Structure 1
Amino acid sequence: MPVNLVAPEAQSLLAVPGVELGIAKANIRKPDRKDMLVIKLAEGSRVAGVFTKNRFCAAPVIVCKEHLFKTNGDIRALVVNTGNANAGTGEAGLEKARTTCNALAELLQVAPEQVLPFSTGVILEPLPMDRLLAGLPQCVANLGGQHWFDAAEAIMTTDIVSKGTSRQITVDGKTVTITGISKGSGMIHPNMATMLGYVATDAAISQSTLAALIDHAVNRSFNCITVDGDTSTNDSFIVAATGKAGNAEINDIGSVEYLALRDAITDVAVELAQAIVRDGEGATKFMTIKVEAGQDVEECRKVAYAIAHSPLIKTAFFASDPNLGRILAAIGYAGVDDLDVNALQLYLGDVLVAENGGRATSYVEEQGAAVMQESEITVRVVLNRGSAEATVWTCDFSYDYVRINADYRS
C-alpha cells in the first residue's frame, strides 16, 4: 500500500478558470477504465513544459517539443492516453501522435500545433488509433472545469491511488488558483521519471517568466525523486497559465508576485512528486535522503542518489534491518573522488550512526532498529566540506516491486 498517501477528495481539487477537462473509457489496453484525458485551455493561455532526457524518447514527447517551439507556448489543448506509451514506434508512432493532434484540433477548432499529445504505458507496441480516435469525442463531450479528480484517475497506470492537490494564493490583490495532478509509480528517476505531471493556474504570467518558473519548480520536485533508477521514455511536466485571475501580467522574476506564484507552484510540484514516491511500486517506506555541508550541489546529489538507488540499501529498509554499512559503501562509491570519509557524519533519523571513518561510539544497534521500524525515515549525511546541500526522496524495494513489474504486461 502507498506510504501515508490517500487519493485526494474530489472537492479538494479546485476548478481553475480557463481550464476544462474531459475523460473517456477508450479501452486503449484494458476495458472499462478511464484511460483518456483532454484538457482544454482558454484562448491566450501560456504553457511551458519539461521532458525526459532519455535519448529514446517517445513520439508524443518529440511532437510536444515541436509544438511548444512553433507556438511559443500558445497551446489550447492537451490529450493524454494511458495503456500505451507510443515509444519505440519509429516514424509510425510520430505519425500517430500528429494524427491525434489533428483530430482533437478539428474537434476543438484550434490549430494542430496548439495541441500537445502525451502517452504512458507499455513501450514498443503500436498505439491503437481506432480506439484513441473514438475516445476523443467522448472526452470533448464531457469537458468541464470540475473534473480534476476524474482526470487524476484517467492518467494512472500502475499507480495504486490517484494524485492531485490545489492551492489558492493572493497575487496583485487577486485570488489565484493552482491545481495539479500527476501519475507515476515505477520506472522513476530524475530527468525526469516515468511520470506525467500537469499543473494549471489562472495567474497571468509572460511566457519567458513561466519558463523560468517551471525550471525552478521541477529541479526542486520531480528531479529530486527516484524509485528504481530507470529514466522513462515519456516523462513530461507541464505548467499552464490561463491568465483569468485578473492580476497584472507577471514578467519580472524578481517581483514579489512572481516569487509568490513560483513558490506556490513549487509546493504543488513537490507534493505531487513526493506522492509518486509514496506510491512507488510495492513501497512500504518513504525515505528522505539529505546530504549537507558539501562543496557544491552536484556532489551532494551524487551522494544522495548513490544511497537512494542502491538495491542493497532499499531492501534493507524494507526488512527494517539497520545494516547501515551499506550506506557507507554507497557514499564511498558515489564519485566524490577527494572525499574525506573521516570527516563525514551519518545520521539515521536523529541517531548518529557513523563518524571519524567508522561506527559512532554512542551508537547501539537497537537505536537504528527502532528508526527502521518507522514508515518515514530520514537519512542524513554531513560531509563537512562546504555549505551546499541536496535532498532526494525515494522508497524501499519490496517483494511487490518484483511482482508488479514481472506482471506488468499481463
Structure 2
Amino acid sequence: MTKLKISPFAPSEIPSLLPIAGFKMATAETGIKYKNRTDLWVVYGCPGTQIAGVFTKNLCPGYPVVWSKKALTVKNEGPSLLVVNSGVANVFGGQRGKDAIVEIAESCERVFDVKSKSVIFASTGVIGEALDASKIISHLPDINENLFDDGWLNGAEAIMTTDTYPKVSTASAVINGIPVKINGIAKGSGMIAPDMATMLSFIATDANLSDSVLQNLLNSNVQDTFNSITVDSDTSTSDTLLLMASCTAQHNKVNDPYDPSLDSFIKALRFVLKDLALQVVKDGEGISKFIKIKIKGALSNSSAKVIGLSIANSPLVKTAIAGEDANWGRVVMAVGKSGESAERDKLSISIGPYTIAE
C-alpha cells in the first residue's frame, strides 16, 4: 500500500490510551488486501460487557453491518468479541461474502469460547470483493494467545484504509465518586457524510452501565458529533459506531440515562465522540480546508442542521472555499435550496470574524 501524505490537519501528537479493565485485544497481518501491515483487530470483552451500536443508513449495507445488528440483540451473559478488518469491506460480494461471516463467527466460538451469533463484525475497504474467511480464521488462535490490554493505538492503525494517521481519543470521568475511563478509536477519510460519515469507530469504557443506558447515551450524543460531519456527501455502506462497557468499575450499575451521576461521564463521552468525528473530517481525502458552519435564527435545531448540510455539501461552496474565493452568493444559493424556511432579505453571512453580507 502506497504511503499517503499526512493530512495538514493531523494532530501534532497522539495521546496515550491507558488500558481499560475488562478488555483485551490483538492485531494481525492477514494479507486480506494489504501487505506488510496489520489489517485485523480483535477485541475480547469480559463476561458482563454491554455493547450499544449505531450503523449506516445506506440501503445497501455490508454483510458485517447486517450481521452485527442482529448480534447486538442476542442475549449474552458470556464474553463478547469484536472482529474488525480493513482492506475488504465485504459488501456486494455475493454468497461467498455472506458465508465468510458465518465461518469466521463459528471459528471464533471454538477459539474464544464465545457465542457465534453474538460476535460483532466491522469491515472497511474495497466494495465488491468477498472477504476471504480463511485469511482471518488462520490467525485467530495466535490472536487468542496474544491478547493484551494495551492495544488501542495498534487497533487504530490496523483499521486504516485511506486514512493518513491513526485516530484515537481518551477521557476520564467520575460516576458516584468512582473514576472511570473512556477510550476511542476511529477510521475514515472518504465517503464522509452524515449518518454517520464513512467510518468505523469503537468507544470503550469500564463504567458500569445497563445496555439501555448505553444505547440511549450513544443515540443522544451521536447527533451533533458523528452525524454532523461531511466531506463528500457520500454515505458509506459500512458505517459502524460501537459503545462498549466492561462494567468493571466499582460503582452501582446505572440504569437511568438521566441519572445525575452520569453528568461527568456524558461530558467525557461527548468529548471523545466529537474529537474523533473532527479527526475524521480533518483527514478527508485530499483535504486542504477545514470549516465549521454555524446557523443562527433557524426555526429549530433540525432545520439549522439541514441548512448547514446544504451549505457544506454544495460543490459550488466547496470550490469557493478551496479556491479561497469569498463568493458568498453561493452560500445564499445553498440556503435557498435546502428546502427549509429562510427569509432572503434578512440573511446575514459571516466568514470568520468578518461580516460579508447582511
Match of 2:347 in 1: 344
Structure 2 Cα separation of the partners of residues 126 and 210 of structure 1? 33
Pairing 1:79–2:83 present: yes
Per-residue CA deviations over 1:332-357 (Å, capped at 9, x if unaligned) read 11112x421111211101111111xx
Pairing 1:261–2:253 present: no
Residue 70 of structure 1: CA displacement?
2.0
Percent of residue pairs identical:
36
Per-residue CA deviations over 1:15-59 (Å, capped at 9, x if unaligned) read 111111100011110111110000010110100000001110000
Pairing 1:294–2:305 present: no
- Out of 1, 4, 11, the position equivalent to 2:9 is 4
- Out of 81, 103, 106, the position equivalent to 1:102 is 106
Consecutive unaligned residues in structure 2, runs of 5 or more: 1-5
Structure 1 Cα separation of the partners of residues 193 and 141 of structure 2? 35
**Normalised TM-score (structure 1):** 0.83
Question: Relative to structure 1, is the Cα distance of residues 324 and 72 closer, same or farther in structure 2, using a 3 angstrom cutoff?
Answer: farther
Pairing 1:219–2:231 present: no
Residue 327 of structure 1: CA displacement?
1.3
Structure 1 Cα separation of the partners of residues 291 and 142 of structure 2? 41
Q: In the alignment, residue 296 of structure 2 is paired with which amino acid?
A: E
Aligned partner of residue 20 in structure 2, secondary structure = coil
Match of 1:281 in 2: 285
- Out of 55, 60, 74, the position equivalent to 2:59 is 55
Question: Relative to structure 1, is the Cα distance of residues 141 and 306 closer, same or farther in structure 2, using a 3 angstrom cutoff?
Answer: same
Higher-Rg structure is 1
Residue 315 of structure 1: CA displacement?
2.0
Consecutive unaligned residues in structure 1, runs of 5 or more: 356-410
Extract structure 1 runs of 4+ deviating beyond 3 A: 7-10, 72-75
Structure 2 Cα separation of the partners of residues 8 and 63 of structure 1? 36
Greater fraction of residues in strand: 1
Range moving further from structure 2, 103-112 or 234-243: 103-112
Pairing 1:201–2:205 present: yes
Question: Relative to structure 1, is the Cα distance of residues 8 and 45 closer, same or farther in structure 2, using a 3 angstrom cutoff?
Answer: farther
**Normalised TM-score (structure 2):** 0.95
Residue 105 of structure 1: CA displacement?
2.1
Structure 2 Cα separation of the partners of residues 72 and 216 of structure 1? 25
Residue 8 of structure 1: CA displacement?
5.1
Asked if the contact 2:188/2:198 (under 8 Å) is kept, the reply is yes
Pairing 1:125–2:129 present: yes
Q: In the alignment, residue 281 of structure 2 is paired with which amino acid?
A: V
Structure 1 Cα separation of the partners of residues 52 and 168 of structure 2? 19
Match of 2:3 in 1: none
Aligned partner of residue 170 in structure 2, secondary structure = strand
Counterparts of residues 5-404 of structure 1 (less than 5 Å):
5-6=10-11, 9=14, 12-71=16-75, 76-336=80-340, 338-355=341-358
Range moving further from structure 2, 203-212 or 101-110: 101-110
Aligned partner of residue 117 in structure 1, secondary structure = strand
Structure 2 Cα separation of the partners of residues 90 and 212 of structure 1? 34
Q: In the alignment, residue 242 of structure 1 is paired with which amino acid?
A: S
Aligned partner of residue 287 in structure 2, secondary structure = coil
Range moving further from structure 2, 34-43 or 127-136: 127-136
Residue 297 of structure 1: CA displacement?
1.8
Residue 103 of structure 1: CA displacement?
1.2
Asked if the contact 1:52/1:192 (under 8 Å) is kept, the reply is yes
